[in-house]
Amino acid sequence: MTIPSAQLPRGTNKPGGKIRVLVVDDSIVIRHLLRQALQEDPDIEVVGAEANGVAALARIPLVSPDLVTLDIEMPEMDGLDTLRQIRKRHPRLRTIMFSTLTTRGGSATFEALSLGADDYVAKGSNNGPLDQSLLALRSELIPKIKQFFVLPAAPATRIQSLPIARVEAPRRRALAPLVVAIGVSTGGPQALMSVIPKLPAGFPLPVLIVQHMPATFTRLLAERLQATSPLRVEEAADGMAIVPGKVLVAPGDFHMRVRTSGGSKVVALDQGPHENSCRPSVDVLFRSVCENYQGAVLSIVMTGMGHDGLKGTQVLKSAGAYSLVQDEATSVVWGMPGSIAQAGLADRVAPLDQIVPELLWLVKA
C-alpha cells in the first residue's frame, strides 16, 4: 500500500552524518552532473548512480540511501513504475522526481506526486555551459534535498522581528470573510487535492491559490483540481473576475494580486521582482487581498519549504484576518506553515483532513 509522503517524518541525521543520495537517470550526462553538483556539498554523499529503475531497485538495499533522485523517462523500467515499487518496498525513502517542462512531463510529474513522490525538479536544457548547469542544479536541487532532513550541525534559523509565541491561539471566527487566500509549496498538489474538491457546490467565497510551480504545471494543476471539484477551478488570467464559488490558481512566473475596478474585484498579474525567491509569492497575494478586502480574509498556509506567506500573514493579522495553517504531522515540509505557527500568528493549526471542516465552520457554509 502506498504511504502518503505527508505521513513520513523528516529524517534526522546524526551529527557529522551526511544525507545519502542515490541518483537514477538514463542520461550519463545528467548522472555525471548530478554527482558532481551534489558531492560538493558537505552534507550530501552520493552513494550510487544507476541508469534505470531495475538497477536502482537492486541497488537500494545495498547502499541504504536516504533519498533517491528519479528520472521519469527511462528504459526497462520508467520512473513511475520505479516509484511504485519504491513505495511498496521502501515506504519511508524520500524521492525527488526529474521531469521536463512540457505538458507531457507535467502530467507525469502530477502522477508521480499522486503516487507518493515528495517533490520534483524541472529539467532545464542540457545544451548550456557545464558551469551554468551545475549552478542551476546546486541552487534548486540541494535545498529540495535538505528540506526533508534535520542537520544538527547546521545553525538554527531565526525569524527576525516576529515574536515567538504559543503555536495555537484560542479558536475564534474571522471577520465575516469575503475571500479565501491559500499559499502552498512542497507537497502542495496533494494537499490541494485533499481540500479543493471537498468544498461544496455553492461555496460562498472566491478562493485564490498561490502554489509554487512553473507555468505549465500550474495550468495542469488547475485542470486536475477542476476534474474532481464541484467548483469552477481555473488558472488565473489578468483581468479575470474574482467571484464567489470560483477557484483561481496563480500562473507560474507571475505574481497574482487583486485589483478593485468599479466595485468589482479582478485579477492583476505581473512579473515584478521575486519575493522569498518565489514568483508567484504568497506574501504578494496576502498583502493584496488585505488591501482590497480590508482584512475580511481567511488565509490558509499549507505544506511547503521556506517562509513565504509569513510576512503577508503578519499584515493580514494586523487587519483582523483569520490565519489557519496545516500541522507538522501532515505536512510534507513544515517550513511555511511552521514559520507562521512558531511566530504566534496562527489562529488554528490543523491536520490536513480538518482544513475543510474548519474552513466551512469559519464561513458558515
CA-CA distance, 238 to 350, in Å (whole number)? 33
Angle, nearest 10°, between helix axes 79-89 and 53-63?
Answer: 30
212 is catalytic: yes
CA-CA distance, 177 to 296, in Å (whole number)? 4
CA-CA distance, 16 to 267, in Å (whole number)? 49
CB 97 within 8 A of CB 109: yes
Catalytic-labelled residue, pool 25, 119, 308, 347 = 308
Strands 264-270 and 297-301 come out as: unpaired
Cis upstream peptide for 15 (omega within 30°): no
The CA-based dihedral angle spanning residues 53, 54, 58, 60, taken in that order and rounded to the nearest 10 degrees: 10
The CA-based dihedral angle spanning residues 297, 304, 85, 57, taken in that order and rounded to the nearest 10 degrees: 170
CA-CA distance, 286 to 119, in Å (whole number)? 25
Catalytic-labelled residue, pool 25, 212, 307, 327 = 212
Catalytic-labelled residue, pool 5, 99, 133, 185 = 185
Active site residues: 185, 212, 308
